[in-house]
């Protein structure tokens, strides 16, 4: 404003000569000069008032901020601290896959994590499989995405359901899960609790064949034997063998049978009421589509001008990641993006807690029956190695 008025006062005479404006009479010029001075004064006043107000506001803002800082303890940064620490430490997840041989377990795992976990797999022929017992094979791979490290362990169960006599073929699997709980319990009760290796199984993908009319007796027995120990997620394998209508019927049938036989498969946690509508809708769709009907493939094919993971047949292409072809994407999102942490929490808070409570109960009963004072003799402690001995000595000295 100031600048504009000054310009007007000094440049009017120039305008008079260049634009041929009529020269101002003395009185008008005097009036203009006074008005300009008055306007200048007013504008200066206005601006300084404005500056003062701004300064006052700034001062108040600073004071408020200082007051706020005084009241701000700082625990609002806790999530950031946890985030930083967890990213540094990395994550681990143990996934078990179970189901008859040839159901597409390895192909699905490779498709899920985009790795080749089964490079050295040796397939047995029919004769070798007659008396084959269920084996437990662990594959571990470290994957990293955007700086976040995940140690993924896949526990495979070759031989399950393959023998002529499948009586109790789930026993080695339940034993394995118990052994991991036992190991964890032992480590947790030991001296060196800092670096406990957690090998507990967080989730079991159970492959149901697409060819039958629902669950087979072996499926029912397997799930019943494991449902109190691990989060079971039932899958319909090789879903490209079925039409959409057949998939729907099979899913309904399996859901009915799961209810009928009292099998407790993994339950998705209830959605909070304050979640947004989109999230609620996704959650609803997820719950409705179990058991997931999946398709796996290790090959990339060309479909609609794009390279996609799929299966090429003489009559067309089945796309693994096409949601109108199968539930692979829903399963992957659930397993990795939305529910991995919940699967770990349920393992720790429900399944392991049950095992631990049972163990302590047994120990207490044993102590009572044998009039013992310490529960230690029943705890399956391994003989201490040199490092443990050293640690015990150090602790003794400290005491
Ligand atoms: P695993 O023994 O359960 O690990 O089964 P594999 O992953 O080795 O698969 C056995 C066979 O089934 C292979 O020839 C795969 O290419 C095929 N296969 C895997 N997934 C699918 C699928 O979703 N649909 C169909 N039709 N075949 C599949």
Q: What is the pLDDT of residue 2?
A: 45
Nearest residue to 337 via CA among 146, 208, 129, 84: 146
Long-range contacts of 196-200 (CB under 8 A, 24+ apart): 198/92, 198/94, 199/94, 199/153, 200/94, 200/347, 200/348, 200/351, 200/352
**Is 25 within a domain?**
no
Kindly give the distance from the C-alpha atom of residue 308 to the centroid of ligand 1, in angstroms, as a whole number.
Answer: 17
pLDDT one-digit tens code per residue, 214-249:
999 999 999 999 999 999 999 999 999 999 999 999
Q: What is the phi/psi pair of residue 137, to 5°? A: -120, 130
Any ligand 1 atom below 6 A from CB of 110: no
| Statement: residue 133 has pLDDT above 70 | no
pLDDT one-digit tens code per residue, 75-96:
888 888 888 887 888 889 999 9
Any ligand 1 atom below 6 A from CB of 240: yes
Overall number of domains in the chain = 1
Q: What is the pLDDT of residue 185?
A: 92
Q: What is the pLDDT of residue 373?
A: 64
- Rounded to the nearest 10 degrees, what angle do helices 217-226 and 171-189 cross at? 10
| Statement: residue 8 has pLDDT above 50 | no
**Is 100 within a domain?**
yes
**Is 382 within a domain?**
no
Q: Which residues of 189-226 are buried (b: 16+ CB within 10 A; e: fewer)?
A: ebeeeeeeebbbbbbbbbbbbbeeebbbebbbbbbebb
Q: What angle do CA 180, 166, 207 make, to 5 degrees?
A: 65
| Statement: residue 255 has pLDDT above 90 | yes
Residue 9 in tokens: 């006062």
Strands (E) located in the chain: 91-98, 137-145, 148-156, 203-208, 232-236, 292-293, 300-303, 306-313, 316-319
> What atom of ligand 1 comes closest to residue 99's alpha carbon?
3
C-alpha distances (whole Å) from 141 to each of 92, 109, 111, 296, 333 are 10, 12, 14, 19, 19
| Statement: residue 49 has pLDDT above 70 | no
- The DSSP code for 273 is T
Of 70-74, 195-199, 287-291, the one with minimum mean pLDDT is: 70-74
Q: What is the pLDDT of residue 7?
A: 45
Cα–Cα distance measured from residue 214 to residue 249, given in angstroms and rounded to the nearest whole number? 9
Kindly give the distance from the C-alpha atom of residue 294 to the centroid of ligand 1, in angstroms, as a whole number.
Answer: 11
User: What is the band of 105 on the pLDDT scale with cuts at 50, 70, 90?
Assistant: very high
Cα–Cα distance measured from residue 298 to residue 317, given in angstroms and rounded to the nearest whole number? 14
| Statement: residue 47 has pLDDT above 70 | no
Residue 255 in tokens: 């859901």
Cα–Cα distance measured from residue 142 to residue 135, given in angstroms and rounded to the nearest whole number? 23
**Is 49 within a domain?**
no
Residue 186's domain is classified under what CATH number? 3.40.50.300
Any ligand 1 atom below 6 A from CB of 107: yes
Cα–Cα distance measured from residue 253 to residue 229, given in angstroms and rounded to the nearest whole number? 24
Q: What is the pLDDT of residue 141?
A: 85
Of 146-150, 193-197, 252-256, the one with minimum mean pLDDT is: 193-197
**Is 139 within a domain?**
yes
User: What is the band of 153 on the pLDDT scale with cuts at 50, 70, 90?
Assistant: very high
Of 96-105, 127-136, 166-175, 189-198, the one with minimum mean pLDDT is: 127-136
DSSP, collapsed to helix, strand or coil, labels residue 65 as helix
Question: What is the separation of C-alpha 44 from the centre of its chain, rounded to a whole number of angstroms?
Answer: 62
Domain span at 148: 81-299+325-361
User: What is the band of 46 on the pLDDT scale with cuts at 50, 70, 90?
Assistant: low
CB atoms under 10 Å from CB of 7, counted, come to 10
Q: What is the pLDDT of residue 192?
A: 77
Q: What is the pLDDT of residue 240?
A: 94
| Statement: residue 318 has pLDDT above 90 | yes
Close Cβ partners of 73 (under 8 Å, ≥ 6 residues apart): none
Beta bridge partners of 251: none
Kindly give the distance from the C-alpha atom of residue 107 to the centroid of ligand 1, in angstroms, as a whole number.
Answer: 6
Q: What is the pLDDT of residue 20?
A: 46
User: What is the band of 392 on the pLDDT scale with cuts at 50, 70, 90?
Assistant: low
Q: What is the pLDDT of residue 350?
A: 95
Q: What is the pLDDT of residue 216?
A: 92
Mutate to test the pocket of ligand 1, among 96, 98, 102 (most ligand atoms within 8 A of CB): 102
Q: What is the pLDDT of residue 383?
A: 52
Any ligand 1 atom below 6 A from CB of 312: no
CB 169 within 8 A of CB 161: yes
**Averaged pLDDT of the chain:** 80
User: What is the band of 253 on the pLDDT scale with cuts at 50, 70, 90?
Assistant: very high
Any ligand 1 atom below 6 A from CB of 105: yes
Q: What is the pLDDT of residue 30?
A: 46
Any ligand 1 atom below 6 A from CB of 210: no
Q: What is the pLDDT of residue 338?
A: 85
**Is 19 within a domain?**
no
Burial class (CB within 10 angstroms; exposed 0-12, middle 13-18, buried 19+) of 282: middle
Any ligand 1 atom below 6 A from CB of 103: yes
pLDDT one-digit tens code per residue, 344-389:
999 999 999 999 999 888 888 888 887 776 555 555 555 556 666 6
Cα–Cα distance measured from residue 154 to residue 106, given in angstroms and rounded to the nearest whole number? 10
CB atoms under 10 Å from CB of 298, counted, come to 14
Q: What is the rounded average pLDDT of the residues 300-313? A: 89
CB atoms under 10 Å from CB of 98, counted, come to 24
Any ligand 1 atom below 6 A from CB of 291: no
**Is 22 within a domain?**
no
| Statement: residue 24 has pLDDT above 50 | no
Nearest protein Cα to ligand 1, atom 9: 104
Q: What is the rounded average pLDDT of the residues 26-44? A: 49
Nearest protein Cα to ligand 1, atom 6: 104
The whole model's pTM is what?
A: 0.74
| Residue that wins the pLDDT comparison between 17 and 332 | 332
Nearest protein Cα to ligand 1, atom 2: 102
Kindly give the distance from the C-alpha atom of residue 266 to the centroid of ligand 1, in angstroms, as a whole number.
Answer: 25
Cα–Cα distance measured from residue 38 to residue 140, given in angstroms and rounded to the nearest whole number? 84
Cα–Cα distance measured from residue 206 to residue 140, given in angstroms and rounded to the nearest whole number? 20
Nearest protein Cα to ligand 1, atom 17: 104
| Statement: residue 36 has pLDDT above 60 | no
Mutate to test the pocket of ligand 1, among 107, 137, 157 (most ligand atoms within 8 A of CB): 107
Kindly give the distance from the C-alpha atom of residue 106 to the centroid of ligand 1, in angstroms, as a whole number.
Answer: 7
Given strand 300-303, what is the order of strands in its sheet? 300-303, 306-313, 316-319
**Is 194 within a domain?**
yes
Kindly give the distance from the C-alpha atom of residue 282 to the centroid of ligand 1, in angstroms, as a whole number.
Answer: 29
Nearest protein Cα to ligand 1, atom 19: 104
Q: What is the rounded average pLDDT of the residues 283-304? A: 89
Counts of helices then strands in the chain (DSSP H, E)? 13, 9
Residue 268 in tokens: 């998705």
Of 90-99, 124-133, 167-176, the one with minimum mean pLDDT is: 124-133
Residue 309 in tokens: 């993971």
Residue 103 in tokens: 């159901």
């Amino acid at each position: 404003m100031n600048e504009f008025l000054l310009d007007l006062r000094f440049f009017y005479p120039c305008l008079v000569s260049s634009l041929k404006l009529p020269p101002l009479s003395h009185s008008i010029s005097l009036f203009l000069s006074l008005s300009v001075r008055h306007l200048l004064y007013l504008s200066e006043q206005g601006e300084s008032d404005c500056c003062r107000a701004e300064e006052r506001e700034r001062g108040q803002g600073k004071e408020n901020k200082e007051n706020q800082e005084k009241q701000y303890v700082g625990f609002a940064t806790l999530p950031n601290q946890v985030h930083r620490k967890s990213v540094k430490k990395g994550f681990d997840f143990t996934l078990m896959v179970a189901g008859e041989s040839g159901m597409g377990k390895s192909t699905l795992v490779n498709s899920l994590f985009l790795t080749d976990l089964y490079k050295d797999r040796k397939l047995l022929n029919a004769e070798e499989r007659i008396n084959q017992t269920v084996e437990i094979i662990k594959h571990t791979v470290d994957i990293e995405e955007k700086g976040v490290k995940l140690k993924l362990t896949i526990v495979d169960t070759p031989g399950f359901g393959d023998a002529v006599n499948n009586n109790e073929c789930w026993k080695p699997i339940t034993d394995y899960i118990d052994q991991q709980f036992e190991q964890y319990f032992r480590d947790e009760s030991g001296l060196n609790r800092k670096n406990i290796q957690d090998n507990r199984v967080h989730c079991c993908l159970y492959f149901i064949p697409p060819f039958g009319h629902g669950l087979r007796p072996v499926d029912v027995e397997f799930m019943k034997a494991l449902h109190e120990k691990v989060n079971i997620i039932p899958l319909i394998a090789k879903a490209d063998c079925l039409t959409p209508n057949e998939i729907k019927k099979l899913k309904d049938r399996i859901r009915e049978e799961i209810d009928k036989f009292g099998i407790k498969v993994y339950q998705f946690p209830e959605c909070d009421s304050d979640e947004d509508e989109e999230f609620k809708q996704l959650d609803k769709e997820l719950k409705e589509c179990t058991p997931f009907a999946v398709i796996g493939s290790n090959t990339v094919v060309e479909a609609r001008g794009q390279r996609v993971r799929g299966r090429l047949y003489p009559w067309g292409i089945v796309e693994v990641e096409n949601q109108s072809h199968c539930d692979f994407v829903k399963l992957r999102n659930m397993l990795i993006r939305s529910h991995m942490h919940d699967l770990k929490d349920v393992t720790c808070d429900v399944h392991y807690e049950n095992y631990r409570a049972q163990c302590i109960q047994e120990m207490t009963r044993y102590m009572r029956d044998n009039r013992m004072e310490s529960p230690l003799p029943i705890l399956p402690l391994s003989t201490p190695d040199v490092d443990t001995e050293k640690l015990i000595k150090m602790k003794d000295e400290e005491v």
